[in-house]
């Protein structure tokens, strides 16, 4: 069984072994939606909450945003910093912060915030996950926009084909098995990587949310939902869309 705070150690070698290519395939589509929702950067400040390797933070900096990337993983932030060296003077001015987003950040500092690629729901308790939304809300200036992108619980429960999957990457084989509890909505994913070096296994667990639940949590912390999409690039939302991409404003 995945440890309670599995995410404190998972976003190191394990994550990189399984996800070294997959997230990057979708980066451009994700950035296109972020740009069309947030509008021109014009030197405005942006919080990339759970920034990981800086997949979005770095290109958004290139587009003129003053970016702060926050993540709890030392290795992810080191990789982001190394990648940002290509940005030239002062590494583009991106501020990288190692912190647990459940803890409050500086008040009313950012014009916009993003939290992409199901980086939310890592605690089994809703109250702990809600703390992440609270601190993002608090860190935004009044009227600031926020984009949250997570996998949709109601997609997964209706699509058993998404539950067991395997694919080949060069000489490696990756197996992924997800079990979603219809009672707790906790999705436990087991990954197995078979390569010439041997077999590597890992497990993680995410609380997946339905549309009405995530909307309620966001509204409770003070966000007003302004639009929503069901997938990249900008697909209309339905109850069973693969993703829940919620655009909100700090009231
Ligand atoms: C799936 S990765 C996505 C990273 C990035 N948003 C992307 O799209 O590539 C999730 C990231 O969230 C971070 N994370 C999860 N919970 C966190 C928390 N409470 N505080 C800070 N970072 C967190 C992890 O360390 C990890 O780097």
For residues 136 and 238, state if they share a domain: yes
13 & 86 share domain? yes
What does the pLDDT read at residue 21?
73
Is the CB of residue 19 below 6 angstroms from any atom belonging to ligand 1? no
Say if residue 179 is in the same domain as residue 221: no
CA distance 175 to 18: 10
Answer whether 55 contacts ligand 1 (Cβ < 6 A): yes
**What number does the ligand 1 atom closest to the CA of 30 have?**
8
In the structure, what pLDDT confidence band is assigned to residue 30 with cuts at 50, 70 and 90? very high
User: Which atom of ligand 1 sits closest to the CA of residue 48?
Assistant: 6
**Number of DSSP helices (H) and strands (E) in the chain, helices first:** 9, 12
Has residue 14 been placed in a domain? yes
199 and 229, same domain (yes or no): no
Structure-token match 């982001």, residue found: 80
CATH of the domain at 178: 2.20.25
Quick one: 133 and 60 in the same domain? yes
Residue 210, token pair as written in the block: 């339905």
Q: How far is the CA of 86 from the centre of ligand 1 (A)?
A: 22
Task: Indicate if ligand 1 lies below 6 Å from the C-beta of 83.
Answer: no
End-of-domain residue from the set 171, 190, 205? 205
Residue range of the domain that includes 35: 7-151+209-250
Q: Is residue 159 part of a domain?
A: yes
The CA distances from residue 9 to 75, 176, 178, in Å, are 10, 19, 20
CA of 174 to the centre of ligand 1 (A): 22
Structural domains counted in the chain: 2
Q: Is 100 in the pocket of ligand 1 (CB under 6 A)?
A: yes
Residue 197 falls inside a structural domain? yes
- If asked whether residues 64 and 119 sit together in one domain, one would say yes
- Range in 37-51, 66-80, 150-164 the model is least confident about: 150-164
Give the pair of three-digit tokens for residue 230: 């069901």
Q: Ligand 1 pocket check: which of 52, 120, 121 to mutate, most ligand atoms within 8 Å of Cβ?
A: 52
The reply to whether ligand 1 has any atom less than 6 angstroms from the CB of 26 is: no
Nearest CA to ligand 1 atom 4: 52
Residues 122 and 191 in one domain: no
pLDDT, tens only, 171-216? 999 999 999 999 999 999 999 999 999 999 999 999 999 999 999 9
Instruction: State whether the beta carbon of 129 lies less than 6 angstroms from ligand 1.
Output: no
Q: Which residue has the higher pLDDT, 225 or 197?
A: 225
Q: Are residues 191 and 213 in the same domain?
A: no
- Whether 27 maps to a domain, the answer reads yes
**Residue 2 belongs to a domain:** no
**86 with 188, same domain?**
no
Higher pLDDT, 32 or 88: 32
18 lines ligand 1 (CB under 6 A): no
24: pLDDT confidence band, cut at 50, 70 and 90?
Answer: confident
**Domain assignment present for 76:** yes
Which CA distances in Å does 142 have to 137, 165, 233, 237? 9, 43, 28, 26
101, 63: one domain = yes
Q: How far is the CA of 50 from the centre of ligand 1 (A)?
A: 4
Give residue 16's Cα distance to chain centre: 15
pLDDT the model gives residue 2: 55
Res. 247: pLDDT tops 70 = yes
Query: Do the domain assignments include residue 1?
Result: no
Structure tokens at 228: 């929503």
189 shares a domain with 73:
no
User: Within this chain, do residues 100 and 224 fall inside the same structural domain, yes or no?
Assistant: yes
pLDDT digits (tens, 9 = 90+) for 116-137: 999 999 999 999 999 999 999 9
């Amino acid at each position: 069984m995945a440890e309670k705070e599995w995410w404190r150690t998972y976003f190191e070698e394990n994550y990189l072994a399984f996800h070294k290519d997959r997230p990057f395939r979708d980066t451009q589509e994700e950035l296109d939606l972020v740009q069309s929702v947030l509008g021109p950067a014009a030197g405005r400040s942006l919080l990339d909450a759970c920034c990981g390797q800086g997949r979005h933070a770095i290109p958004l900096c290139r587009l003129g945003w003053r970016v702060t990337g926050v993540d709890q993983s030392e290795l992810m932030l080191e990789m982001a910093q190394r990648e940002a060296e290509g940005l030239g003077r002062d590494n583009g001015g991106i501020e990288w912060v190692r912190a647990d987003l459940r803890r409050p950040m500086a008040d009313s500092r950012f014009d916009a915030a993003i939290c992409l690629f199901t980086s939310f729901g890592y605690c089994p308790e809703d109250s702990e996950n809600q703390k992440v939304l609270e601190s993002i809300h608090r860190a935004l200036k009044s009227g600031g926009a926020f984009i949250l992108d997570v996998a949709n619980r109601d997609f997964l429960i209706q699509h058993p084909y998404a539950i067991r999957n395997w694919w080949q990457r060069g000489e490696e084989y990756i197996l992924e098995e997800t079990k979603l509890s219809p009672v707790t909505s906790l999705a436990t994913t087991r990954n197995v990587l078979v390569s010439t070096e041997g077999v590597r296994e890992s497990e993680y667990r995410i609380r997946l949310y339905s549309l009405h639940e995530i909307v309620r949590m966001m509204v409770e912390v003070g966000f007003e939902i302004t639009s929503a999409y069901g997938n990249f690039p900008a697909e209309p939302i339905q109850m069973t869309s693969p993703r829940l991409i919620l655009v909100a404003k700090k009231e």
